C-alpha cells in the first residue's frame, strides 16, 4: 500500500448528451494533471447531468458505454487513472454509477445507492438503486466513493468505513440553491467526516443546464474537520491535492482556499451563469428583450450583458399611448449605461388596428383587461418577429412575485425562450439591482460601475397599460406580498397558518386563490434559473384544474 497519493479534483462544465465532447474535455483536463495518480470528475460527467429521459434511449446508453471504453483505453499511456461518472446497463437495469479507469481498462464500477426523488430530482423514475457499495482499491488504498446523495445521508459513508475505506471521495451534481454552499460544507459533509472519522473530498460541477445551475464550491475536509482545499464558485477549475498516510490515517496537505460569494452576489452570478450557458450551448448569437423603463427589464439587460457581453444584448423599447416620457428616458439611459443596443418601435399602430378589427365584437362593452393584454401581446409578437428574423433568443423579464399571482400576460410579456428572473421575488430584484450598481461580478463581462439608473430602482412599479397604472392598484405592496408568497409557496402554509403570522385574512385568501389560478400560465412559461428551494417547474408541480383552497 502506498503512503502518498496525488489526486486531482476537476470541477468543470458539461454539455448534456455531448458524449464525445465531454470525454474529450476530460482527457484535456487529465493532460493538465499529468503528475496526478488519480483524476476525479463530477457525477455523470460523461453524459451530462441531469440527462433526464435521454438515459432511457438504448442508443444513448450504448454510446455512453463506447465513450467510457475509449476513456479507459486512454489510460494505457501510463498516465493518471480516472474516476468517471456515467450510466451503466447491467443485467437488465440502468444505474447511475462511477468507474475507475486505469491501465487501459475499466478496473472497478460502483453504483449509486441513495437515489434522490424530491425537488429537482427524479432518479428513482429512471435508475435502479445499487447495493451498498464496497470501497474501490486504488494503489492498495481502499477508497470509498459515495455518489452525490450517497454522501448527503449517513448510511453509505458508515458502510464504507465499516468495509475498510480509508478516505472518501464524493462526486456530485449538486445544483445551486441560496446558502447551499454553506450547507454542504458546514453541515452535511462535515457530519460525514465526524461520523466516520475519515477525510473527505467533495467534488461538484459548474455551469447551467436548463433551469439548473451548478456552482462548484468543491472542497476537501480532513478527518479533524479542517478545510484543506476550497475551489472557486462558478468557474471551471482543478486542484492537485497531496495526500499522505501516517499512523493516524490519511490527511490532505493544505492547498488554496478560494473565497465563495456571499448573498446576494451568489444569486446574481447564478443568473449570469444560467443565462450564459443556456444561450451559448443552444448557439444563439445573442438575446433580445423588451426594455420598458422598469426595474425587471433593466436588471435582465444587465444580467445579459454580464453573461454575454453588451454587444450581444439588444434592447427594444415598445411604447404605447400610456408609456410615460420618464420610462422612455429611463430605458435609454439604462441601455447607455449597460452599453447595449436599443431601438424604439412604437406599438400604437398595431394596437389601433386590433381595436378596429375587434370593434364590432367588442361593441357595447367597456375597455378592460382585454385591451391591456392586446398591448402586451403586440409587444410579444413584435419581439418574436425580431427574434425569428435575426436569431436572437427572446428574454422574458417577469419576476416570481408576478408569476405567482398571474400578473403577466400569456402570449404577451410571457413569450420568450428564457427568464433570468423566474425564481426571483420582486424584493430580490430590488436587492440585486442595488448590489449590481455597486459591484461587478467576478465572472461578469459587462461594464464596471452602475448599470441601472437610480430612478428605475426608486420609482413605483407599473405595467403602464392604462392611465396612471401602478402594480399596487392590483396587488399588495411587494414587501408584504413577497413575505406572504414565500410562506405560501416555499413553506406550503395554509391560509390559517399565514394569518397566524400576522397577515390580513382577506388578502391571504385572495393571494392563495390567484396563486392556484395562475398555474396554467406557469405551465406555459419559459425556463429560468432555479434559485430557491421551490421554483415553479421542477420543484413545485401543482394540478392546473384544482378545486382546493385552504382558506375555505
Q: Tell me, letter by letter, the H, E, C secondary structure of 235-255.
A: CCEEEEEEEEEECCEEEECCC
Q: Please report the pLDDT score of residue 544 as a whole number.
A: 82
Q: Please report the pLDDT score of residue 398 as a whole number.
A: 93
Could you name the CATH architecture of 265-468? 3-Layer(aba) Sandwich (3.40)
Q: What is the pLDDT of residues 5-17, one digit of tens each?
A: 999 999 999 999 9
Residue 550 pLDDT > 80: no
Give phi and psi for 483, each to the nearest 5: -65, -40
Q: Please report the pLDDT score of residue 546 as a whole number.
A: 83
Q: Where are the beta strands (DSSP E) in 20-145?
A: 38-40, 81-90, 93-102, 105-111, 136-138, 141-144
Integer-rounded Cα radius of gyration of the chain: 26
Confidence band for 542, pLDDT divided at 50, 70 and 90: confident
DSSP calls for 141-206: EEEE--BTHHHHSHHHHHHHHHTT-SEEEEE---B--TTHHHIIIIIIHHHHHHHH---EEEE--E
Confidence band for 465, pLDDT divided at 50, 70 and 90: low
Residue 35 pLDDT > 80: yes
Say if CB 202 and CB 174 are below 8 A apart.
no
Say if CB 138 and CB 102 are below 8 A apart.
yes
Residue 467, SS3 per DSSP? coil
Residue 299, SS3 per DSSP? helix
Average pLDDT value for residue range 256-262: 94
DSSP 131: P
Q: Which of 35, 13, 36, 34 is nearest to 24 (CA)?
A: 13
Average pLDDT value for residue range 225-252: 96
Whole-angstrom distance, CA of residue 156 vs CA of residue 192: 10
Q: Please report the pLDDT score of residue 468 as a whole number.
A: 67
Q: Do domains 4-252 and 265-468 have the same CATH topology?
A: no
Mean pLDDT computed over every residue of the chain: 94
Q: Please report the pLDDT score of residue 464 as a whole number.
A: 60
Confidence band for 539, pLDDT divided at 50, 70 and 90: confident
Q: Please report the pLDDT score of residue 379 as a whole number.
A: 95
Confidence band for 290, pLDDT divided at 50, 70 and 90: very high
Question: Which residues, other chains included, contact 222 with Cβ-Cβ below 8 Å and sequence gap of 6+?
Answer: 193, 199, 228, 251, 252
Q: What is the pLDDT of residues 366-398, one digit of tens each?
A: 888 898 899 999 999 999 999 999 999 999 999
Average pLDDT value for residue range 469-478: 77
Domain ranges, ordered by start, for the chain: 4-252, 265-468
Average pLDDT value for residue range 504-529: 93
Domain 4-252 has CATH 3.90.1150.10: no
228: enclosing H helix or E strand: strand 227-230
Q: Which residues are bridge partners to 138 per DSSP?
A: 141
Q: What is the pLDDT of residues 123-147, one digit of tens each?
A: 989 999 999 999 999 999 999 999 9
Q: Please report the pLDDT score of residue 462 as a whole number.
A: 67
Confidence band for 517, pLDDT divided at 50, 70 and 90: very high
Query: Which of residues 427 and 474 earns the better pLDDT score?
Result: 427
Catalytic residue numbers?
43, 112, 148
The whole model's pTM is what? 0.93
Q: Which of 398, 196, 420 is nearest to 303 (CA)?
A: 420
Residue 475 pLDDT > 90: no
Whole-angstrom distance, CA of residue 333 vs CA of residue 312: 18
Residue 237 pLDDT > 80: yes
Say if CB 303 and CB 275 are below 8 A apart.
yes
Report CA-CA distances (Å) from 137 to 41, 108, 109, 163, 310.
Answer: 18, 9, 11, 11, 51
Amino acid at each position: 500500500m502506498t503512503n502518498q497519493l496525488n489526486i486531482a479534483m476537476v470541477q468543470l462544465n458539461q454539455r448534456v448528451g455531448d458524449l464525445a465532447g465531454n470525454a474529450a474535455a476530460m482527457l484535456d483536463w487529465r493532460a493538465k494533471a499529468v503528475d496526478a495518480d488519480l483524476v476525479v470528475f463530477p457525477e455523470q460527467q460523461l453524459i451530462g447531468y441531469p440527462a433526464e429521459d435521454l438515459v432511457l434511449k438504448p442508443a444513448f446508453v450504448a454510446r455512453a458505454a463506447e465513450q467510457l471504453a475509449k476513456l479507459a483505453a486512454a489510460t494505457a499511456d501510463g498516465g493518471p487513472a480516472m474516476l468517471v461518472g456515467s450510466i451503466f446497463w447491467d443485467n437488465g437495469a440502468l444505474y447511475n454509477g462511477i468507474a475507475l479507469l486505469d491501465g487501459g481498462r475499466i478496473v472497478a464500477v460502483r453504483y449509486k445507492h441513495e437515489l434522490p426523488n424530491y425537488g429537482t430530482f427524479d432518479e428513482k423514475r429512471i435508475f435502479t438503486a445499487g447495493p451498498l457499495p464496497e470501497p474501490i482499491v486504488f494503489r492498495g488504498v481502499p477508497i470509498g466513493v459515495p455518489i452525490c446523495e450517497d454522501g448527503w445521508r449517513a448510511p453509505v459513508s458508515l458502510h464504507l468505513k465499516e468495509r475498510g475505506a480509508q478516505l472518501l471521495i464524493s462526486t456530485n451534481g449538486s445544483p445551486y440553491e441560496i446558502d447551499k454552499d454553506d450547507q454542504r460544507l458546514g453541515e452535511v459533509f462535515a457530519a460525514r467526516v465526524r461520523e466516520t472519522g475519515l477525510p473527505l473530498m467533495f467534488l461538484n460541477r459548474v455551469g447551467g443546464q436548463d433551469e439548473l445551475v451548478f456552482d462548484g464550491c468543491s472542497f476537501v475536509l480532513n478527518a479533524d474537520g479542517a478545510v484543506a482545499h476550497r475551489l472557486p464558485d462558478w468557474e471551471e477549475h482543478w486542484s492537485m491535492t497531496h495526500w499522505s498516510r501516517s499512523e493516524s490515517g490519511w490527511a490532505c496537505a493544505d492547498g488554496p482556499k478560494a473565497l465563495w460569494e456571499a448573498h446576494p452576489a451568489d444569486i446574481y452570478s447564478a443568473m449570469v451563469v444560467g443565462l450564459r450557458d443556456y444561450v451559448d450551448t443552444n448557439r444563439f448569437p445573442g438575446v433580445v428583450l423588451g426594455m420598458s423603463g422598469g426595474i425587471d427589464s433593466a436588471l435582465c439587460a444587465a444580467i445579459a450583458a454580464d453573461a454575454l457581453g453588451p454587444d450581444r444584448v439588444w434592447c427594444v423599447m415598445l411604447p404605447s399611448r400610456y408609456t410615460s416620457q420618464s420610462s422612455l428616458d429611463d430605458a435609454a439611459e439604462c441601455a447607455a449605461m449597460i452599453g447595449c443596443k436599443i431601438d424604439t418601435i412604437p406599438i400604437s399602430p398595431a394596437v389601433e388596428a386590433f381595436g378596429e378589427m375587434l370593434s364590432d365584437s367588442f361593441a357595447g362593452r367597456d375597455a378592460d383587461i382585454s385591451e391591456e393584454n392586446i398591448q402586451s401581446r403586440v409587444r410579444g409578437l413584435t419581439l418574436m418577429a425580431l427574434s425569428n428574423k435575426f436569431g436572437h433568443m427572446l428574454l422574458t423579464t417577469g419576476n416570481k412575485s408576478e408569476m405567482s399571482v398571474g400578473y403577466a400576460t400569456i402570449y404577451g410579456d410571457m413569450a420568450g425562450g428564457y427568464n433570468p428572473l423566474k425564481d426571483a421575488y420582486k424584493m430580490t430584484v430590488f436587492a440585486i439591482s442595488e448590489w449590481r450598481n455597486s459591484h461587478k461580478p467576478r465572472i461578469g463581462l459587462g461594464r464596471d460601475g452602475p448599470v441601472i439608473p437610480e430612478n428605475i430602482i426608486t420609482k413605483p412599479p407599473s405595467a403602464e397599460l392604462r392611465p396612471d397604472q401602478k402594480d399596487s392598484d392590483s396587488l399588495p405592496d411587494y414587501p408584504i406580498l413577497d413575505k406572504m408568497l414565500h410562506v405560501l409557496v416555499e413553506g406550503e402554509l395554509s391560509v390559517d397558518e399565514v394569518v397566524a403570522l400576522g397577515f390580513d385574512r382577506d388578502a391571504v385568501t385572495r393571494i392563495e386563490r390567484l396563486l392556484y389560478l395562475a398555474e396554467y400560465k406557469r405551465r406555459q412559461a419559459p425556463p429560468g434559473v432555479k434559485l430557491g428551494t421551490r421554483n415553479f417547474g421542477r420543484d413545485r408541480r401543482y394540478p392546473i384544474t384544482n378545486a382546493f383552497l385552504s382558506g375555505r
